[in-house]
Amino acid sequence: MAGAMGKRLVEYRWLDWPFAALLTSGHVALAWSTGRFDVLRTTGFTNRLSLYTDMIAVTGLLFGFTATALASYLAFSGPRITQFRAYAGDQVHAQWMSALGGLAAALGILILCKVFDRDGTSAAGMRWIAEGTLFFASGRLIRLIWVFRQLIGIATKPVAERGKRSEPVALKDPPLVAQIQG
């Protein structure tokens, strides 16, 4: 059941926005109601800038992983992956470009958070924007890893080992799935 839901949820890239907003709002509510768990507010200015730098570095690494995964996908060859690209290449391409674009935007936003956060403030809204941006980037990365895992399975798993009900990368047309897998 969870696998089937995951195969459908991966199609809806817009879900990363409410996911990030929900997690950030939950943290804001927790921090305001308890007066705790707000690391970026309570740390000093120098440490906060260092944390922004770390966030930028991690997001940059994730962007690099995404670009490498895309290059790997484009390098895959063979009859199954060629047939897969013929049927679902546009959907997979949209997933990858969404991940690349989302992580590039996250990098830009994190850099702006670091620039606009000033000494003598409690980080105002910049800390929440940075946190929401990281949640968004995490959602894009989780989605990308799931898609890449499905592609690796298609490219490497022998036909005899595949289950009859396995379905790659949220294809909506079951006859096409059977042709790709069979």
**Which of 30-39, 83-92, 112-121, 156-165 bottoms out in mean pLDDT, i.e. has the lowest?**
156-165
**Average confidence (pLDDT) over 92-102:** 88
Do 89 and 176 touch, CB atoms closer than 8 A?
no
What's the pLDDT at 123?
59
| Range 114-137 average pLDDT | 83
Amino acid at the residue 69: A
Distance of CA 48 to the CA centre of its chain: 24
Reduce the DSSP state of residue 98 to 3 states and report it.
helix
Res. 7: pLDDT tops 70:
no
Residue 10: predicted pLDDT: 73
pLDDT of residue 153: 78
Closest CA to 147 of 76, 90, 96: 96
From the list 129, 101, 144, the residue with the least C-alpha distance to 21 is: 129
Residue 136 has pLDDT above 90, yes or no: yes
**146 — pLDDT class (breaks 50, 70, 90):** confident
pLDDT at residue 50 is higher than 80:
yes
- pLDDT value at 170 more than 70: no
Q: Over 90: is that where the pLDDT of 86 sits?
A: no
pLDDT at 1 exceeding the cut of 80: no
Estimate the crossing angle of helix 126-156 against helix 79-116, to 10 degrees.
170
Report the alpha-carbon angle 103-106-108, nearest 5: 115
**How does the average pLDDT of the chain come out, rounded?**
81
Alpha-carbon distances, residue 40 vs 49, 51, 56, 131 (angstroms): 9, 8, 15, 9
Q: Average pLDDT of 80-97? A: 83
What integer is the mean pLDDT of 93-107?
A: 91
Q: Which residue has the higher pLDDT, 156 or 31?
A: 31
Would you call 164 helix, strand, or coil by DSSP? Answer: coil
Predicted confidence (pLDDT) at residue 13 exceeds the cutoff of 80: yes
